[in-house]
Amino acid sequence: MIRRCCNFLLKTLKTPWVQGLICALLLVMVLWVAGPLVAVAGHVFFESTTSRLVGTLVIVFIWGLMVAILSSRQRRREAADPEIATRKEKDAALQDRLREDFRHIRHTIKTAIKTVTTSNFYGPTSRSRYALPWYMVLGPENCGKTSLLLNSGLQFPLNEQADRHLYKLKSTGKIEVLFANQAVFIDTPGFYAQCNQESREHGLWTYLLRRLFRERPAKALNGIIVCVSMRDMLDGDTARREHLARTIRTRLGEVLKNLRSYTPVYLVFTKCDAVPGFAQFFAHLSRNEREQIFGCPARSSAMDLDATRQELHELMQTLNAQIITKIHQERDCLARARMFRFPQELAALGSRIEDLIFEAFGPSRYHRPVMFRGFFFSSALSSSDVMTGAAREGELAYQSGFQSFLGDYAKGFFLLRLLEGFVIPEAGLADADREHIWMLRFRRFGTQLAAGIVLIAGVSLLAFSFKDNFRRMELLEVMSNDFKREQQAHLEAGDALKILPELAPLEKALTVYDRHQDPFLSRRMGLYQGDVFEGATRRAYTGVLNARLLPRVREMAVNTMGESLDDLGALKSALRAYLMLCQPEKLSERFLKEWLETRWAELYPEGVADQRMLMRHMSFLIEEGISPVSPDEETLAKARTALLKKPLSHLAYQQMKEEASEGGNSAFTFHGVFGGRISAFSGDTYAIPYLYTLEGFHEYIMERCPEIIKELTEDSWVFGPKSMLFSALDVEKISKDVRVLYFKDYARHWNQALQELRVFTPRSLVGAADLAEQLGSGVSPVVLMLRELRKNTTFVAREEQESGLESAVEDQAAKRGTRKLAGVAGTALAKAATESVLDVVAQARTKVAREALRDAQLVTQSFKHLDSLIDAEGNPAPALKGVHDAMRDAGLLFRRINDSNNRSKQLLAALQDIAEDRDDTLHSLSSAAERLPAPVRKWYSTVSTGGLKQMLAEAASIIDSVYHDSVLHVYNAGLKDLYPLRIDSELDANLVEFTNFFKKAGVFDVFHDTYIRPFVSKNGEIRPVLGCSLPISKESIEQLQRVRKIQDAFFVSDNDLGISFLIEPYALDVKLKQVELSHGSKMLSYWHGPVQGANFVWPLDAGQSPEASLAMTDVHAVRAFKEMRGDWAFFRLLQNGKVKLMEGNKCIVELYENGKWAQFLIQFRNKANPFDPEVCSFSLPETLF
């Protein structure tokens, strides 16, 4: 369809009159678009609409005249050449005939559809155009298509010609539709099957297919009956048969393409009576037998070539099997001969039939597959054939079985059951393209669905619009009631903050209707009331703000003036704000908003949300318009009096600050100096007002200071009607005082900006490395900052050439002065006087600039110590360059540690080198930074200190992790809560584990010497490294130092566990006679006699029994005995008594048994006493932090 439209459009565009019309339209477009832009000698011809309409009519008239001229020339050319006229008449006649054929096809198909869908004959289901199957009969001319249908035995109740028994047929020139009770058949002209694709008749064939597809898109045809005359098969012209087969294939392919369906095809060989012997072979068939199928139907969905050959062979065998029976039934010898000849003749045609079927219906890579359902043989005679046969020697003898009185002598052979019993029942085999079916369903139901959706959407939108507007009006009513209630509750509110609840509903009401925010669709549904209510709510809100909020804001300004009579800046700002609130024509929006923000921030420091709400209300009021009122004259007089009491220099300086703040120039920040780079500083957003920059100095001090002083006389609306007059000397004096105030604030702002700058403390070694590289780079942020500081604190006179305008003004003034003096003193004298005046003015300007620069040197001197850090070109000076070099080295150190494969080991090694002064990288950085002035010194020190702290923090985590894995784990597994480290424990520590843990170069010593010793001093305190220390708790270090006590108490040498001690009897209970103390094979016995001690050694040698015992014998010879076993038995036995420590390594042990006691003096030869509480209660901390 699109292709045909494009071809038609292209063909139409090639016609001369269409091309001329396109050109005319383009000219008209150019005329209307570019006409008003074209002028000739300053006159625009097509400026008005009337002139352009006249031009358009002229262009259309010229186009029509051109078309008429071309048509006239064409007619004269045809009149001069008769051949052209004749050819044109033929073409016209052919076009008329084609249009008539097209009209006939359209009318026939449309009538057939109407007949099927409206006729009562087909029952109640006939309303569907798919109620009956449709079949097309296709074949070449004179192949018997019409005779096949009319002689098939089917009833055609709506076709007059089908009811005639004797009729005379002629070739079918146009399609005809025959309505049977079971199906509808389309009889096509023969040239449809024989025409070429380039012929005009092919257009009729294509149009018929398109028309069928349009009327019955789901299933245009249920089958195609292809008719081939047997006379064509008997013809010996092979080329003609091949052409016929190819043409049939082409037509079938076009059917499949245009109808978009897979349609079954039936091949019927008509006029089989032309085969010799056919009439005699089937002469004796009854009427029922003549209605049977004679052919080979397909058993599967489609018949292939092998099946065709097999079916044809079986058919020949069936015919040959009937010959004997039929010969016996026939008495005529001549008829017998012909009867015998028929199967042979038909078998001889087998190869031709196979070739035809293969060419027309066989598989092909380049053609669409065909659902070939079989081939069949039939014969149907027209009335002319019957009469011709009767005239030729009685050839109707084979019709002896016909019964003329029954009206069936002209019916066909083998057709009724073929159509009625095979073809029509297979109507359901036709299968349409699924995609096409879905498209049809979408086309059929999509429109209805779309219409329903549009209707529902329209109704829904109207309902939504109504509901939305109703909801909004209800919301406005609720807000109005809220406003009235809050207004009644706050009638006497004296503070602006207290009327915020009253203003909130009105402010919220503005959002109910907002044409800029509301959806476009809701504003176009016809029920939108925003145009009415939006303006009303804005007016109501503005009126309440003027009536309720504005008086309280004015009162706040009045109170501020009363509180700030001694504060010039606050007083003047409050006075200006008050006058602006009373006289909107004087309003400066920027100043007023800034003043309100500052004032409300002072009044309500905790209510940030309230401040924002107040500012939102005032911003709206300023935008909509403040209602003017007359200011209070008494308040103004009091404020102006206090204002005029201030020194004029303070007034002028305040005026200068106000003008600078309202000038729109952005404030200076160090953040902007870094050019979008990642800043190394925090606090770099501190804003220095434009006035206190070099540009502000030249603009307001060097150039505008006198003007600002003189402007004080013009601000009568602020200072009052009393004018202030200043002489030149007054202006000069005030200027000096202003400069004093200015440079004091200038230095204060820059000092404060420097103090706010702080280098970010690095959070990791990577951050420390990046920060060191950033600060030590060639273009360091510090250097950029120092350059900007020098730029704004070094004041020199600008060597600028006067602009052309200034020169022209001075020249004009000089000429005017010369002319005035020339009339009095002569031209030469007047010129000299004028030049003298100009010289005086120039000298005055130079003097003012020189004094201002002299005063500015105080600022320069205050920052001289920082300016010396960079040279004249702005590059780092030697002191700063040395710091940068050390900074880069520190960055390499941090980077090397971070990128190391064994980071923990590298980190600890680096810290040990720093702690033991083997690596002076950070020492050099700290030393170099200490030589810099503040605050630069602190910026660079932050890098070394921060990086070192990160190293120490990571080292502490590493040490704690190693401590848990290698020390605490071993201690918890074999020593924790065991004797002797816990004297009340019932379990003993293993001597081997105890020795391995506490000995020199043991578990604890290895850890301590490797990880703790570099960071701890000899007295056991954490040693600082460049002012930083390892973040380990002091208590943990103290606990670890108690290991030395254990080593001194239990080890006689670095690695040998042992204690040598002397035990002497000290005292004995009088009730006792004897006491015996033994350990292994060593025993000490005491008898109330001379004291004699014994030397003991612990632990016992190998082979000795680890036993300790105490035996007490009283005077009655009663013996008390106590014994303990184990490596620590002797110490357990002694510690069961009462231990009293003495000086040195001595102690007295008092042992009890059955209420009797004995005291022993023990002297340990080790460095420490094993009974020391610090030894007996030792435990390791769970963490070092």
Same domain? 404 vs 485 = no
Same domain? 196 vs 75 = no
520 token code pair: 């476009």
Same domain? 378 vs 283 = yes
Per-residue model confidence (pLDDT) at position 675: 64
Is a pLDDT exceeding 60 seen at residue 812?
Answer: no
Q: Tens digits of per-residue pLDDT, 497-523?
A: 888 888 888 888 877 777 666 666 565
Q: What b/e readout covers 813-829, taking b as 16+ CB neighbours within 10 angstroms?
A: eeeebbeebbeeeeeee
User: How many Å apart are CA 1139 and CA 109, to the nearest integer?
Assistant: 130
User: How many Å apart are CA 903 and CA 899, to the nearest integer?
Assistant: 7
Comparing 296-305, 386-395, 610-619, 882-891, which segment has the lowest mean pLDDT?
386-395
Same domain? 50 vs 144 = no
Question: 1108, 1119, 1055, 1053: which is closest to 1082 by C-alpha?
Answer: 1108
What number of other Cβ atoms are within 10 A of residue 256's Cβ? 20
**Which residue type does 630 have?**
S
Residue 106 counted as domain residue: no
Kindly compute the dihedral angle of the four CA atoms of residues 862, 866, 872, 877, in this order, to the nearest 10 degrees.
150
Per-residue model confidence (pLDDT) at position 655: 79
Q: Which domain-ending residue is among 620, 646, 672? A: 646
Same domain? 422 vs 493 = no
Handedness of CA 965, 968, 970, 973 (dihedral sign): negative
Residue in the block written with tokens 């030894």: 1175
pLDDT-based confidence at 406, cuts 50/70/90?
Answer: very low
User: How many Å apart are CA 72 and CA 51, to the nearest integer?
Assistant: 32
pLDDT top residue among 200 and 1067:
1067
CA distances 986 to 108, 976, 1129, Å, are 120, 12, 11
Domain that holds residue 318: 131-432
Q: Tens digits of per-residue pLDDT, 64-108?
A: 898 888 888 877 776 777 776 677 777 777 778 888 888 998 999
User: How many Å apart are CA 445 and CA 1009, to the nearest integer?
Assistant: 91
Residue 583 counted as domain residue: yes
User: How many Å apart are CA 1007 and CA 1012, to the nearest integer?
Assistant: 7
User: How many Å apart are CA 1128 and CA 659, to the nearest integer?
Assistant: 93
Eight-state DSSP code of residue 667: P
Question: 748, 703, 756, 706: which is closest to 731 by C-alpha?
Answer: 706
Is a pLDDT exceeding 60 seen at residue 807?
Answer: no
Same domain? 68 vs 157 = no
Is a pLDDT exceeding 80 seen at residue 801?
Answer: no
Is a pLDDT exceeding 70 seen at residue 405?
Answer: no
Per-residue model confidence (pLDDT) at position 808: 46
Whole-angstrom Cα Rg for the chain: 62
Comparing 79-93, 338-352, 644-658, 826-840, which segment has the lowest mean pLDDT?
826-840
Per-residue model confidence (pLDDT) at position 572: 81
Same domain? 60 vs 138 = no
Residues with Cβ within 8 Å of 572's Cβ and at least 6 positions away in sequence, in order, are: 643, 651, 654, 658, 718
Residue 1114 counted as domain residue: yes
Per-residue model confidence (pLDDT) at position 841: 43
Is a pLDDT exceeding 60 seen at residue 756?
Answer: yes
Average predicted confidence (pLDDT) for the chain = 81
Per-residue model confidence (pLDDT) at position 729: 66
1090 token code pair: 């001379």
Residue 361 counted as domain residue: yes
Question: 655, 662, 758: which is closest to 707 by C-alpha?
Answer: 655
8 A C-beta contact, residue 890 and residue 922: yes
Same domain? 642 vs 540 = yes
Eight-state DSSP code of residue 418: I
Query: For 915-943, what is the mean pLDDT?
Result: 86
3-state secondary structure (DSSP) of residue 603: helix
Q: Tens digits of per-residue pLDDT, 108-158?
A: 989 888 888 887 655 554 457 788 899 999 999 888 888 888 888 888 887
Length, in residues, of the chain: 1185
Residue in the block written with tokens 């610090």: 1174
Residue 1001 counted as domain residue: no
User: How many Å apart are CA 58 and CA 311, to the nearest integer?
Assistant: 80
785 token code pair: 């900052």
Per-residue model confidence (pLDDT) at position 135: 94
Is a pLDDT exceeding 70 seen at residue 1117?
Answer: yes
Kindly report the backbone phi and psi dihedral angles of residue 964, in degrees, each rounded to the nearest multiple of 5, phi listed first.
-65, -40
8 A C-beta contact, residue 472 and residue 517: no
Residue 1124 counted as domain residue: yes
Q: Tens digits of per-residue pLDDT, 254-313?
A: 888 888 888 899 999 998 988 888 888 888 788 888 888 988 888 776 677 677 888 888
Task: Assign residue 1138 the CATH number of its domain.
Answer: 2.60.40
CA distances 458 to 84, 449, 524, 650, Å, are 62, 14, 12, 71
Residue in the block written with tokens 């007023």: 592
pLDDT-based confidence at 495, cuts 50/70/90?
Answer: confident
What number of other Cβ atoms are within 10 A of residue 879's Cβ? 15
Per-residue model confidence (pLDDT) at position 332: 82
Residue 922 counted as domain residue: no
1096 token code pair: 């003991």
Query: For 1015-1023, what is the mean pLDDT?
Result: 79
Per-residue model confidence (pLDDT) at position 1150: 92
pLDDT top residue among 332 and 385:
332
Is a pLDDT exceeding 60 seen at residue 618?
Answer: yes
Share of the chain above pLDDT 70, in %: 86
Is a pLDDT exceeding 70 seen at residue 724?
Answer: no
Query: For 306-334, what is the mean pLDDT?
Result: 84
Q: Which domain-ending residue is among 80, 114, 139? A: 80
8 A C-beta contact, residue 642 and residue 671: no
Q: Percent helix, strand and coil across the chain, each rounded to 5?
A: 60, 10, 30
Reduce the secondary structure of 175-198 to three states and give it as a string.
Answer: CEEEECCCCEEEECCCHHHHCCCC
Is a pLDDT exceeding 50 seen at residue 166?
Answer: no
Q: Where are the alpha helices (DSSP H) in 35-151?
A: 49-80, 82-118, 145-150
pLDDT top residue among 1171 and 824:
1171
Same domain? 416 vs 506 = no
Is a pLDDT exceeding 90 seen at residue 1047?
Answer: no
Handedness of CA 407, 412, 416, 419 (dihedral sign): negative
The residues pairing with 1063 across neighbouring beta strands, listed in sequence order, are 1094, 1162
User: How many Å apart are CA 622 and CA 581, to the nearest integer?
Assistant: 9
267 token code pair: 């091949």
The residues pairing with 758 across neighbouring beta strands, listed in sequence order, are 682
Same domain? 401 vs 294 = yes
Same domain? 43 vs 147 = no
Per-residue model confidence (pLDDT) at position 160: 59
Q: Where are the alpha helices (DSSP H) in 330-433?
A: 333-348, 350-361, 383-391, 416-417
399 token code pair: 């019709």
The residues pairing with 876 across neighbouring beta strands, listed in sequence order, are 870
pLDDT-based confidence at 224, cuts 50/70/90?
Answer: very high
Per-residue model confidence (pLDDT) at position 664: 76
User: How many Å apart are CA 110 and CA 133, to the nearest integer?
Assistant: 16
Residue 840 counted as domain residue: no
**Which residue type does 322 have?**
Q
8 A C-beta contact, residue 614 and residue 500: yes
933 token code pair: 């002035």
Per-residue model confidence (pLDDT) at position 95: 79
Q: How many helices (H) and strands (E) does the chain have?
A: 45, 20
Q: Tens digits of per-residue pLDDT, 460-486?
A: 878 877 777 878 788 888 888 888 887
Per-residue model confidence (pLDDT) at position 516: 66
Number of domains in the chain: 4
